[in-house]
Amino acid sequence: MQIPLIKPSPPRLSEAAEQLRAIEESGIFSNFGPVNSAFEQDMLAQMFGGSGACMTVCNATIGLMLAIQQAVGSRPRRTRYALMPSFTFAAAAHAAMWCGLTPLFCDIDPNTWAASAADEERLLAKHGDDIAVVMPYAAFGYDIDLARYEDMMVRRGIPVVVDAAASLGTLSAQGVGFGTGFSGWVVFSMHATKAFATGEAGVIYSRNEAFVAELRQMCNFGFGAPRSATMPGLNGKLSEVGALLCRLRLESYDASMAHRDGIMKLYRDLLPDLAFQPLRPHRQAHQFAAGLLPGTLAASRPDLAAALREAGIGNASYFSPHLAQQSYFAEHSVWDDLSVTDDLAGRIISLPMFDTITPEEVQEVASVMNRELARLQRTSVRSLLRSRMSLADAPVPLETAAAL
């Protein structure tokens, strides 16, 4: 049985001939056309309860760049930092660097796997005004505490851009879409590998409608007047065909989320030796099933991954290496203590999750996982015993004997 890590299932354009023909007949293929506008309205109503505003972008990395640029303003004349966890995807650090900032990595919370509140506050106190923006990551679609970041913006006067790449469909503790009512910037991805899979697309949300209106101009070459750039800009627009894929995906997304939620609960039940993020009372958008191996098996993860692949089971280790362990960011970023990140990145494993995965396939994954974990545990115990026996049989050095 072959079970891939992910199996992208964006809407089928081959089954949307009528909608495609309507786009062709309209003669509008981009520039926030009618299909895109309709999707934004539907997204705002369905995901964010009609509160605030949202807009599409061609991908979430461009969305992060736009949001950071708007949050920070003009390019800094001195070194300024974007505070973010190292346990995240490369897009966050790249986006900050394209805006002239230096990534400043903080450690993460051992339970939620998101940025550590204590470490963020420590670095904010240490670097003060040198930190231009805070960029928390909602790890694996987890519902992080946005109220704390609202307070941070008020208390410290520092903008917050939330990397919520995998969170489209996650509900907050209030039962509304993650990000709803947040006055900063929340950036979502609709890449083919995400739970909300379309191909390439992203969404920026903010309670501040004026932010989104200006972002729309920045996304269109900074044209604040007809054919005239009045602000920083680039071309980040989503095509009408891309927007059609988004509309079609939105129609079936609740059913997809319910299925993935059930699959993740099954993984939790079948894999008692793995540690998972705390279970929230409301649904979480799951891109894949991420769990932590026991600490004693961290060094055996490559063997486990190979055994899973041999059994036809796709797996990965997001985010390992974490950003500070990647050569480019290691050269161009700043950090000090990342001990929790190092530990967690060394134990993370990502298991199959997709819209059509069946309970039987999850049971097969769990069966192989549990078998291999038991084998590795036995191997680890034998190695430990052999090591202890070797130490016991080793000759005592003369200086040690003399001391005795």
Give per-residue pLDDT as tens, 127-182.
Answer: 999 999 999 999 999 999 999 999 999 999 999 999 999 999 999 988 899 999 99
The Cα–Cα gap between 278 and 287 comes to 16
Report whether pLDDT(47) > 90.
yes
Phi-psi region at 52: left, alpha or beta (left = phi > 0; alpha = psi -120 to 50) = left
Cα 207 to Cα 54, 132, 138, 268, distances in angstroms: 9, 21, 18, 35
SS3 222: coil
Cα 151 to Cα 147, 242, 329, 388, distances in angstroms: 6, 36, 29, 52
Mean pLDDT of the chain: 94
Is CATH 3.30.2270.10 what the domain over 253-385 is classified as, yes or no? no
| Predicted confidence (pLDDT) per residue in 313-348, tens digit | 999 999 999 999 999 999 999 999 999 999 999 999
Strands 202-206, 53-57: pairing kind: antiparallel
The residue ranges of every structural domain in the chain are 13-248, 253-385
Residue 226 has a pLDDT of 87
**Lowest mean per-residue pLDDT among 1-10, 238-247, 344-353, 361-370:** 1-10
Residue 238 has a pLDDT of 98
The Cα–Cα gap between 10 and 18 comes to 18
Residue 387 has a pLDDT of 60
Return the exposure string of 191-201: e unless at least 16 CB atoms fall within 10 Å of the residue's CB, then b: beebbbbbbbb
Report whether pLDDT(383) > 70.
no
> How is the beta sheet containing 161-163 ordered, strand by strand?
53-57, 202-206, 185-189, 161-163
SS3 196: coil
pLDDT band of 200, cuts 50, 70, 90: very high
Average confidence (pLDDT) over 348-369: 98
pLDDT band of 402, cuts 50, 70, 90: very low
pLDDT band of 1, cuts 50, 70, 90: confident
| Predicted confidence (pLDDT) per residue in 215-226, tens digit | 999 999 999 988
Choose which CATH entry (3.40.1670.10, 3.40.640.10, 3.40.47.10, 3.30.1490.20) describes domain 13-248: 3.40.640.10
Report whether pLDDT(69) > 60.
yes
